[in-house]
Amino acid sequence: MATPNTHFGAKKIGEYLEKCKKVFFIGIGGVNMSSLALITKERGFEVAGSDRESTAVTRHIEENSIKVWYSHSAEHIEGFDALVYTVAISPDNPEYTAAQEAGIMCISRADYLGYIMTGYKNRIGVSGMHGKSTCTSMCAQVFMDADVDPTVLSGAELPSMGGAFRIGEKEHFIFEACEYMDSFLDFNPTIAIVLNIERDHVDYFHSMAQIYESYAKFTAITGDNGYAVMNIDDANVVAALSDYAGTKITFSTKNRNADLFADNITYKNGKASFDILRDQELMCKVSLSVPGEHNIYNALAAAAAATLCSIPPDKIAVGLRNFTGAVRRTEYKGKINGADIYDDYGHHPTEVKTTLKGLRNMGYKKITCVFQPHTYTRTKELFDGFAEALQEADTAVIYKIYPARETDTLGVSSEMLAERIGEEKGVYLGSFSEISEYIKENARDGEAVMIMGAGDICSLFDCLNFD
Q: Specify the pLDDT at position 463.
A: 94
Q: Which of 338, 314, 345 is nearest to 134 (CA)?
A: 345
pLDDT in tens, 20-37: 999 999 999 988 899 899
Q: d(Cα 210, Cα 188) in Å, to the nearest integer?
A: 21
* Region 282-304 average pLDDT: 97
Beta bridge partners of 396: 369, 426
In percent, the amount of the chain with pLDDT more than 70 equals 100
Whole-number pLDDT of residue 70: 97
Residues recorded for the chain? 467
Domains with residue ranges and CATH for the chain: 10-114 (3.40.50.720), 119-322 (3.40.1190.10), 331-463 (3.90.190.20)
User: Cα separation of 58 and 48, whole Å?
Assistant: 11
pLDDT band at 181 (very low <50, low <70, confident <90, very high): confident
Backbone phi, psi, residue 95, to 5°: -70, -40
pTM value is 0.88
Closest CA to 294 of 345, 356, 238: 356
Is the pLDDT at 1 greater than 60? The verdict is no
Name beta bridge partners: 175: 125, 153
pLDDT of amino acid 87: 87
Q: What is the pLDDT of residues 407-421, one digit of tens each?
A: 899 999 999 999 999
Phi and psi at residue 355, to the nearest 5°:
-65, -45
Measured between its terminal Cα atoms, the distance across the chain in Å is 43
- pLDDT beyond 90 at 119: no
Q: How confident is the model at residue 225 (pLDDT cuts 50, 70, 90)?
A: very high
